[in-house]
Structure 1
Amino acid sequence: MSAGAATIYDESVSGDLDAIGSTIVDLASGSNTILGSIPATGSATDTDRIRFTQVPGLIIDSIQLSFTGAWDTANIGQSLNSALFNNQANLFDDNFRSVTGGGPGNPPTISAAFFDSFGPETGPLAQDVDGAIWDFQLSAGVVYPAANWVLTINTSDKPVDPPPNVVPLPAGLPLMLAGLGAFAWLRRRKG
């Protein structure tokens, strides 16, 4: 988590994230973090799903999933499934798939590619659409110990186009009147 990051949702404070994505939060300009945890698997599995809205005027610069705490692949193994997509097309980010590895004490970090190269529909995930709803999901496979995770979404403001340089009408009015006067003078001279 970077300095100055705003936590827009913390599962330990605001409540458990469900598997259907009923939690929706708005992004702010800057660094946004979402904190969650997948408990150690035993008889039950857990899925954390959250949707976040890209408010007007923002561009998604980066999305990164990281894990904190122990990551035990040597003794029992860690295996989670992740997905990231938005409502602009039927596209899923290439890098958010199965999460494994990293080695003991070295949990993996995943950065969004913003591109889908699998399946019948491929292409870039739109990063600059006002009102886009992004959907992130993390599902337990084999997890021991619990997998605490941080999703960091960095945004910036869309550049504002400067207003076009408009020649004020009063500056063009004398030229137009001079031209009309010249036509009238020429017509009078011929006639």
Structure 2
Amino acid sequence: MKTILTAALFCVGLGSAATAATINFSDFDEGDILGLDADLGGGVIADIAAIGGVAEAVVFDTDRGTVSTGNDPDLTSPFTNAEDSNDRRAFGNALIVQENATGGPDDVVGGSLIFSFDSLWSFASVFLLDAEVGTSATLFNGTDEVASFTLDRTNESETGGNPNNNEFTLLGFADAVGDTLRIDFAGSGALGEFEVSAVPLPAGFPLLIAGLGAFAWMRRRQQAA
């Protein structure tokens, strides 16, 4: 009985809490390669795959004025919102598709990042850095596409060779729920961060679990009588 009650209370907790997390790769070091079972913080676990270049998803430090930013000055913080010149921010670490096997982090011209999460998440926003027209961000729930954006001239953030005016693109996903996020870069670019929250269980689900547990307990008592 104690076990059943504990399980029921645990389910109630899951149903009532909605954990939010900002995934900004801050727990990693520059040059880290992210792959299977990557712990992104905030309870978010994902298999990360990269297409293009050497097929590696690599951490790039936009604040570091040495190897990274020397290789790719258009990924140097701070960045300006492509749609709001008053919105200016630094991103610290970002994630890129690595171009070369040597020479330090450097983003490939074109490529994809694919996150396969171990559970469903509700997506609030995705931040892309130095992303060109035609770059897309798509969220899937299983095989179903639930939200998708393709950058055009109004929100592209390609720097155009001017590192003094680096830009980011903010994509609002309006809490769409999915388990796979795919970023397809039309040219160079990086994933700055994304914001998610846990998907709570339906309100009635914990009560159902508790009821089933109590029913099973009563049956065991009747059988033992």
Q: Same fold (TM over 0.5)?
A: no
Q: TM-score range by the shorter chain?
A: 0.3 to 0.5
TM-score normalised to structure 2 length: 0.39
Larger radius of gyration: 1
Kindly indicate which of the two structures has a greater share of residues assigned to helix. Answer: 2
TM-score normalised to structure 1 length: 0.44
